[in-house]
Amino acid sequence: MRMKVLFKLLLLFGFNTSTGQIPTGYYDPATGLTGDALKKTLNLIIKDHMEFPYTSSNTDVWDILKETDRDTLNPSNVILIYSGRSVDADQEYNAGNGWSREHVWAKSHGNFGTTKGAGTDVHALRPCDVNMNLARRNRWFSACSDQYTDENGATGNYTDSTAWIWEPNDRVKGDVARMIFYMATRYEGDGKEPDLEVIDSIPSDHNTYAPVHAKLSDLLLWHEQDPVDQSERNRNDVIYYSYQKNRNPFIDHPEYVQFIWGEDHHIGETKHLGSKANPDPKKDL
C-alpha cells in the first residue's frame, strides 16, 4: 500500500488529534508585546515547522490540502478559494480539468518556487480553480474595479485593466490577508529562507523577484471586513495537529495584526525592490 494512502486511512480512523483549541502556553512569550518585538517573537514561536514536499508518492501538499480544505457537506470534495466551488478532491490537477494549488503569497515574489519551506507552506496554499489561478497569476492584492468572470459568469473577484492587481471574493478577503501576514512573519530570512515583507505600495515592476507583497492598507481593511471564521480555525488546527506543527497567529489572535502593522506599529520594508526581475510571471502562480 502506498504511504500516502496509509496516512489517509490513519486520519480517517482517528489519527488526527485536533482539539480545536490553541495549545496551552503557545503564545505566552508574545504576551504584552507590540510592533517589531511581537513580530520577531511570533517568528520564533512558529518557525522550524515540519515541512512536506510539493509533490510526492508520500504525504505531500495535495494530500494536506484535501484535509485542510475539505468540503464538510461532501467530504470527497475540496472547496476552491476564490470561487467557493466544491470539486472532487482526488482528481488533483488532472491535466487542467481538476484543481490547482494557489500560492496566495505568489511564489515569484521572493523567488522561492515550490521548494520545501515557503514554497510548500500550507498555511498560505489553497485549492483553486485552474483558470482562476491562471488569471490571478502573481498579481498584488489591492482594491479593483473590473469584475472577473469565467464560464459560470461573475465570480465576485476583481482585477484591473491597467494595474497588476487582484481583489478576492468578499468571502475570503480576510483569509487572504491573514495568510499574507503569516508569511511575512514566518519567513524572516533565516538561513536560505526568504525575508518576506508586506508593503503599502504597488511595485512598478510586477515581474520583480523582490520578497515583498502588497498592498498593506487594503489587506488591513480586508482583515477587519472579513473576520476569522470557523473554517479558518479548523484549518489552523489540522495544519498544527496533523502536519506542520505550527499555527497562523493571526487566526488565533486577530488583534496581533493591528499590534504589528497598525497605525502606531507600521512595519514594512522597500529595500528588497532592487532584486532581479522574473522574466515570466505566468509561470509563477
What percent of the chain is modeled with pLDDT above 70? 85
**Which whole number is the average pLDDT over 53-78?**
98
pLDDT at 95 > cutoff 90: yes
In 3D, which of 97, 49, 100 has the Cα closest to residue 243?
49
- Say yes or no to pLDDT of 203 above 50: yes
Number of domains present in the structure of the chain: 1
Segment holding 130, helix H or strand E: helix 130-136
Mean pLDDT of 53-75: 98
> Can you give the pLDDT at residue 21?
85
**pLDDT for 217 beyond 50:** yes
Once rounded to an integer, what is the mean pLDDT over residues 243-269?
87
Residue 17 has pLDDT above 60, yes or no: no
pLDDT at 6: 38
User: In sequence order, what are the residues at sequence separation of 6 or more whose Cβ sits closer than 8 angstroms to the Cβ of residue 149?
Assistant: 155
Q: What is the CB-side half-sphere exposure of residue 119 using CA atoms within 13 A?
A: 15
- The pLDDT tens digits for 131-171 are 999 999 999 999 999 999 998 899 999 999 999 999 999 99
Cell of 240: 498544527
- Asked if residue 122 lies in contact with residue 64, where contact means CB atoms within 8 angstroms, the answer is yes
pLDDT of amino acid 274: 46
Per-residue confidence (pLDDT) for residue 247, from 0 to 100 = 98
- Rounded to an integer, what distance in angstroms lies between the CA atom of residue 142 and that of residue 166? 6
pLDDT > 60? residue 45: yes
Asked whether the bond before 215 is cis by omega within 30 degrees of 0, the reply is: yes
Nearest to 98 by CA among 120, 124, 131, 75: 131
53 falls in which pLDDT band (50, 70, 90)?
very high
pLDDT (average), residues 238-263: 97
282 or 204, which is more confident: 204
Q: What is the mean pLDDT of residues 102-130?
A: 98
H/E run at residue 139: none
The per-residue pLDDT for 279 is 42
Q: How confident is the model at residue 267 (pLDDT cuts 50, 70, 90)?
A: low
> What is the distance between the alpha carbons of residues 97 and 159, in angstroms, rounded to a whole number?
23
Q: At what angle do helices 173-186 and 216-225 cross, to 10 degrees?
A: 130
One-letter amino acid at 155 equals T
Residue in this structure with the C-alpha cell 504576551, named with its chain if needed: 31
CB 42 within 8 A of CB 185: yes
Pairing state between β 140-141 and 165-167 = parallel
Can you tell me the distance from the alpha carbon of 120 to that of 50, in angstroms, rounded to the nearest whole number?
A: 11
∠ CA 259-263-268, rounded to 5°: 80
Is the pLDDT at 79 greater than 90? The verdict is: yes
Query: How many of the other CB atoms lie within 10 Å of CB of 145?
Result: 12
The answer to whether the CB of 184 falls within 8 A of the CB of 254 is no
Rounded CA gap, 207 and 276, in Å?
Answer: 9
pLDDT at 275 over 80: no
Beta 74-79 vs 86-88: how paired, if at all? antiparallel
Range of the domain at 175: 3-283
The predicted pLDDT at position 152 comes to 87
- 89, 100 contact by CB (below 8 A): no
Measured between alpha carbons, how far is 109 from 86 in angstroms, rounded to an integer?
29
**Four-point Cα dihedral 147, 148, 150, 154, nearest 10:** -30
**204/193 Cα distance (integer angstroms):** 25
Q: Please give the DSSP secondary-structure letter assigned to residue 11.
A: I
- Tell me what the mean pLDDT of segment 69-84 comes to: 98
